[in-house]
Structure formats: structure tokens, C-alpha cells
Amino acid sequence: MKKLLLFTLLSAFAFTAFAQRNAKVEYWNTFHYKAKDGMEQEFLKAAAIKTKKFNSDSTNLIVTYRITTGDKSGVYERIMPFQTSKSYDRDASKEGKYWNDNVSPYAKPDGGKQVWERLEWADVNVKPNDPPYKHLSKTTFIIKPTHRNHFGRWVERIGKVFAKRMPDASRIVMKLHSGGQRNMYVSYIGFNEFENNNPELETTWEEDYNEMFGWDTWATDLKLYNESKE
């Protein structure tokens, strides 16, 4: 299964989770909120104040996007990147109380918190000091446990073609650690302009792929990739 959504950045706007974490892994937390009827502006204002107060530190950042397509259109996704296992030992009770007292009156959760493990081998055009992109294209996948190698091969290889053909965009891929199906993966592609400003090339994606990885590998790998999805 594959699901695609578009997001628009609102502000560069936490809570703790359970289960032990790998000290060498980078985690990202995601939360979803929907403003209560007639209270969207109040929610945005209160969340922005909370962010400035609690989430301006590089270890505790939160970026908020508004989902603009799909059945979640109008829902706000709050992304908390760059977490380590130690981050989950942080006492967030004061921050949580502030949210409950000052932001929750204007919004309600849309589902629960999810914790993702970043797959750094799948990064494309990622520059650590760049600001958040204005827009995100988010795709979620449910992958058959026996087909993860096929999924990973395509993701890694198409990423190399992506790097050549789309230097103005970037991609990260993560797998779900907690908060849902363990065989769920997500891809975020970040970009600032909807107009394609990438270089015009005489070759196609398929031709570049075959040039990099061998004759007819596009067809073979794409077939196995499509079969990897539930």
C-alpha cells in the first residue's frame, strides 16, 4: 500500500514515549492535530507561542506543516526531528502541561504520536544546516516483511537518480519504530517551489537508472519494488 500527501510549512513550531531506543539511531516524532471548529487561528497563535517558549533549542525543535491534500487535508502535522535515545529521558512535564493548558483548548489530536527511525542511507541532497522546506510531499508505505530488501534496493537506487535529476529538492526515508504497524515506512520529499527549476536533461529517469545499475535493472527492480508493497 502507498499513500501520498502534500504539506505546506506553517512554522518552524512534545512529549515523551515508551520503549527503549537504540543509542546510535536518529529518531523523529510526529503528531497530528486538527483545530476545533472556528478556532484555527487561535490554535496557530497558541502553538506558535508555545514553540517559541519551548522548542527553539536545536535538540527540541518542532516544525509544523498543514496537510493540503488527501483525507487528512486541514490536519496539522508537527514534526520533531533529530532525536536520540537520550532525548526520551528528558523531563517534558512542564512543556506538556503548558500545551494542555494553553493549546489543547483550541485543537484535538488526530491519532497518536508516532516515532520514526531515520534511514540515513536513503538521504538524498540533505544539507544539515538548511532551513525547513516550504513544502513536503509525504508518501507512506506498508511493506511485506519478506520483501524489505526489494523495497530498500529500489529506494536506495532511485535516490541516486533523484540526486542527479532533482538537485533543488531533498528526500529522507524513515521506518516506524512505535505508534503503528512496524512494517510502515515514510518518505518525505522537500521542495520550495512547485515550478520545476531542476536542469533539463536529455535522458529519462529509466535511462539514467539503467546507466547507473545495468541494462534493464529499472524494469526488474521496479517490478520487485511494486510487489514489496501490501
CATH of the domain at 197: 3.30.70.100
pTM: 0.89
Angle between helices 93-102 and 40-54 (to 10 degrees): 160
Cell 532511485 belongs to 158
Q: In tens digits, what is the pLDDT along the chain, a chain of 230 residues?
A: 666 667 777 654 333 333 445 668 999 999 999 999 999 999 999 999 999 999 888 788 999 999 999 999 999 999 999 999 999 999 999 999 999 999 999 999 999 999 999 999 999 999 888 889 999 999 999 999 999 999 999 999 999 999 999 999 999 999 999 999 989 999 999 999 998 888 899 999 999 999 999 999 999 999 999 999 99
How many other β-carbons are positioned within 10 Å of the β-carbon of residue 13? Answer: 25
Angle between helices 205-213 and 148-165 (to 10 degrees): 110
Q: What is the span of the domain harbouring residue 143?
A: 2-228
* H helix and E strand count, the chain: 5, 9
Do 185 and 148 contact (CB within 8 A), yes or no?
A: no
Q: Is 211 helix (H, G, I), strand (E, B) or coil?
A: helix
Question: In the chain, how many domains are there?
Answer: 1
